[in-house]
Structure 1
Amino acid sequence: MEHKIVILLAVVHLFGSTFGYVHDYHLSDVVDVTLSKSTSNNITELQTAPIITAANPFGLPGISENTRKDIIIVDGDVASPVGQARTLFKSTQRWPRGIVPVELDNAYSNNQKNIILTAMSKISQATNNCIRFVWRGNNPYWLRIHPGNGCWSYLGKIVNNGRQDLSLQNPACVHEGTVIHELLHALGHVHEHNRPDRDAWVRINWGNISPGTQSNFNKYSAGEVDTFNYPYDYGSIMHYHSTAFSKNGHRTIETIRPGFENYVNSIGRSGRLAGWDIEKLKKRYGC
């Protein structure tokens, strides 16, 4: 059965920066890889049968400081063109028809590429393929996933033509949950704890936050972000953990909803796509 996995890795290596979505496989799975070409926009997909500051809000070790001069990092891991930090939420664009053309940097190992591909697969599966990741091909715009400094992404689609970057520092950021988190930013999701209604669900302990990082806990207005009227989700993969950006190891975020006090130990640690994150994706893209 292991030779099936080798074949998949070889395909990823052969095509390098162009690919589609891939099944979340295990050693017991039989993965049949086929190439198909859609009839619109020359989009080629790699499919399987069946289809199943420092930018480091996750507290990951080995993260480098962002050194790019053309962007600033807000809310921990959201990139913004210099001078547009406050407006990026108001103009979040969807990827047309839920199709995200992607380029994957060859600096990643085969195993790392498969971690990234698996994260994409889970998003596609969760939305019943309403959201798809495809080869860049001849598309005039695309998402380039590369090993920059830190884990970060722009919010939604920001380019009409050309490259849009998403950074997954190698190897520090190449973990499935982190990849899903950044891809959801690229698809338009903001952090759960920045929601307009967050004060009814969490308490921000400002005295425990490291100096200079308080902006990561900004609360946005209903005019800046859209919750689609879905409830606050302690289990969201877009939620920070309880000691994020702490200066003393004490909690910066406390759960306060009656009956949910124990969630303080699990917020920001789910590492998987589930619940309202999926429903908001479907709503955003009309799935």
Structure 2
Amino acid sequence: MTKEKILFLLFFINFAGATNLDYDETDEYLTGFNFIRKSNKLWKDGTIPYKFRDDRYSGRSYSEEEKAMVRKQMGEMETQLGPGCINFVEDENCTNCLHFVKRFIDRCEATIGNTTEPYMNLESPECFEDNGLFHELGHVLGMAHEHIRDDRDEYVDLDEDLLEPYAKIAFRKKPMFGQTYQAPYDFKSIMHYPLKKGCVGNSTCMKIKTTYSLALNESNILKKYPVKLSPTDIYKISAAYNCSIDHTVVAEYVQYAVKIAVSKNNVKDCTSTNTIDTSTAESSTTATTTNKPTVCAAKGYTIHINTGTCYTFKVLTDVKRNWTDSRAECQKAGGDLAKFSSSEEWQSVKGLLNGVNEHVYLGGRDVQQEGTWLWTDGSPVLFTVWWDTNYPRVNKNWNCISAHYTDSWKWFDSECYFNRYAMCMIPV
């Protein structure tokens, strides 16, 4: 008996009787906080070669009907992510590729990202029902479960006593092996389990906290897997694979992020969420979302649309510093170098630069990977006002974003060791 078969049998014995749960989190250094951090575990250029093959352990194979369903879901995911972002390429001769197999165990499972031997097992009928296949394709791209985020308990209540014993591994929160790209907790993600999945009998072992349930105001949320990627799913996949995002998706993402951020602030302000009057939920949420920017503006602050938090912006003109030292000064003040998510945000603070006669550092860099611009918190730079179409330039030494004082404060990429002024954003 080969080593591979021994390992497989041990795996089978350990999880015998486990059905319809995807045990895709056994390799902890790959998984964790929702999205693989290691770039070498993502698929090169967003291309995922794959093939269907008879499983070497069970000898089972996929029917032509099942293959057609897989291809259809792959095409749907490609379409939702936009042209050229992700491409599934069938290649029966590929070796280092995604293998579709059918093993003895009656469940849906997939490895996360481009591992040593990536595979997907769709043995359970549930895999082809209730959009479970879409969920597994998310794993293949590098996404772990939304409900294993370290901050999960701020958003949902989980009754572990109602979990089937074999299901508990799929709900175990993970430390920061991965990343969220600073995205809000996503109830609409294809990677979030439905409320009854893994529960004893037909019980509900997971519930959305009242404040978020009222803010979302959607009766079907988490009843089953979504039929499409959420705006936050698209945001994170696009950030990981350096894809452009359609402006309508950005608008939907921002709207959702603000709603969650405002609801989170409401949770902090309330002593109990159980006393909320559901009859006024929609109007109350709308009023809070509308008034938050007004309150910020009245106090001379700016609301950040990704977080719903008020910030004050400060331009450091006392001493010229390099990018690293500039960031350290912002952090001393309790903030960080400035980031911007929209034209509205940028226009609201750009006036602070009037009269400044030096380039000003902002918080964006592409030091980790050339051409992949990230803010200091790790989120991707989606909004930009580059100097012209020649920017940003492809040069491994031009890694920091600066605002140019001679041309309406358009942005350009430059070397990070130059001494310049800087703009900080400080939460208040």
Length-normalised TM-score, structure 1 = 0.65
Q: Is the Cα–Cα contact under 8 Å of residues 200 and 257 in structure 1 kept in the other structure?
A: no
Query: How far apart in 2 are the matches of 1:193 and 1:108?
Result: 30
Is residue 206 from structure 1 mapped to residue 160 from structure 2 by the alignment? yes
Q: Is the Cα–Cα contact under 8 Å of residues 146 and 165 in structure 1 kept in the other structure?
A: yes
Aligned match of 1:50? none
Aligned match of 2:113? 156
Is residue 99 from structure 1 mapped to residue 53 from structure 2 by the alignment? no
Look up the equivalent residue of 1:246 and give its one-letter code. C
Look up the equivalent residue of 1:229 and give its one-letter code. Q
- In the alignment, which of 8, 12, 27 is matched to residue 85 of structure 1? 27
Aligned match of 1:130? 85
Count of aligned positions: 215
Contiguous gaps of at least 5 residues in structure 1: 1-66
Query: How far apart in 2 are the matches of 1:173 and 1:213?
Result: 17
Q: Is the Cα–Cα contact under 8 Å of residues 242 and 265 in structure 1 kept in the other structure?
A: no
Instruction: State the secondary structure of the residue aligned to 2:68.
Output: helix
Bigger helix share: 2
CA gap 1:268/1:224 in 2 versus in 1, 3 angstroms: farther
Aligned match of 1:258? 211
Aligned match of 2:386? none
Q: Is the Cα–Cα contact under 8 Å of residues 111 and 120 in structure 2 kept in the other structure?
A: yes
Q: Which runs of 4+ in 1 moved over 4 A?
A: 70-75, 137-140, 261-265
Aligned match of 1:283? 239
Aligned match of 1:169? 123
Instruction: State the secondary structure of the residue aligned to 2:97.
Output: strand
Look up the equivalent residue of 1:284 and give its one-letter code. A
Query: How far apart in 2 are the matches of 1:264 and 1:243?
Result: 15
Query: How far apart in 2 are the matches of 1:238 and 1:110?
Result: 27
Q: Is the Cα–Cα contact under 8 Å of residues 234 and 267 in structure 1 kept in the other structure?
A: yes
Look up the equivalent residue of 1:99 and give its one-letter code. T
Q: Is the Cα–Cα contact under 8 Å of residues 23 and 170 in structure 2 kept in the other structure?
A: no
Shift of 1:245: 1.9
Look up the equivalent residue of 1:283 and give its one-letter code. A
Query: How far apart in 1 are the matches of 2:166 and 2:88?
Result: 36
- How do 1:1-287 residues align onto structure 2 when only pairs under 5 Å count? 68-69=9-10, 76-79=21-24, 85-89=27-31, 93-105=41-53, 107-128=61-82, 129-136=84-91, 139-148=94-103, 149=105, 150-159=107-116, 163-169=117-123, 171-175=125-129, 177-221=131-175, 223-261=176-214, 266-267=221-222, 269-275=224-230, 276-287=232-243
Q: Which of 1 and 2 has greater Rg?
A: 2
Look up the equivalent residue of 1:252 and give its one-letter code. C
Percent identical residues? 25
Q: Is the Cα–Cα contact under 8 Å of residues 152 and 167 in structure 1 kept in the other structure?
A: yes
Query: How far apart in 1 are the matches of 2:23 and 2:194?
Result: 17
Query: How far apart in 1 are the matches of 2:165 and 2:200?
Result: 8
CA gap 1:229/1:138 in 2 versus in 1, 3 angstroms: same
Shift of 1:254: 0.8
Instruction: State the secondary structure of the residue aligned to 1:224.
Output: coil
Shift of 1:114: 1.5
Query: How far apart in 2 are the matches of 1:245 and 1:147?
Result: 22
Of residues 231-240 and 166-175 in structure 1, the stretch that sits farther from structure 2 once superposed is 166-175
Instruction: State the secondary structure of the residue aligned to 1:196.
Output: coil
Query: How far apart in 1 are the matches of 2:156 and 2:199?
Result: 16
Q: Which whole-Å deviations, capped at 9, do the CAs of 1:42-61 have from their partners, x for residues lacking one?
A: xxxxxxxxxxxxxxxxxxxx
CA gap 1:176/1:139 in 2 versus in 1, 3 angstroms: farther
Aligned match of 1:60? none
Instruction: State the secondary structure of the residue aligned to 1:155.
Output: coil
Shift of 1:181: 0.9
Query: How far apart in 2 are the matches of 1:274 and 1:259?
Result: 20
Aligned match of 2:302? none
Shift of 1:109: 2.6
Shift of 1:267: 0.8
Contiguous gaps of at least 5 residues in structure 2: 1-7, 55-60, 244-428
Instruction: State the secondary structure of the residue aligned to 2:202.
Output: coil
Look up the equivalent residue of 2:111 and give its one-letter code. Y
Query: How far apart in 1 are the matches of 2:199 and 2:85?
Result: 38
Of residues 199-208 and 167-176 in structure 1, the stretch that sits farther from structure 2 once superposed is 167-176
Query: How far apart in 1 are the matches of 2:137 and 2:63?
Result: 19
Q: Is the Cα–Cα contact under 8 Å of residues 205 and 252 in structure 1 kept in the other structure?
A: yes
Query: How far apart in 2 are the matches of 1:193 and 1:172?
Result: 20
Length-normalised TM-score, structure 2 = 0.45
Query: How far apart in 2 are the matches of 1:120 and 1:258?
Result: 35
Shift of 1:136: 2.4
Query: How far apart in 2 are the matches of 1:101 and 1:269?
Result: 29
Query: How far apart in 1 are the matches of 2:23 and 2:67?
Result: 22
Q: Is the Cα–Cα contact under 8 Å of residues 242 and 264 in structure 1 kept in the other structure?
A: no
- Aligned-residue Cα RMSD (Å) equals 3.0
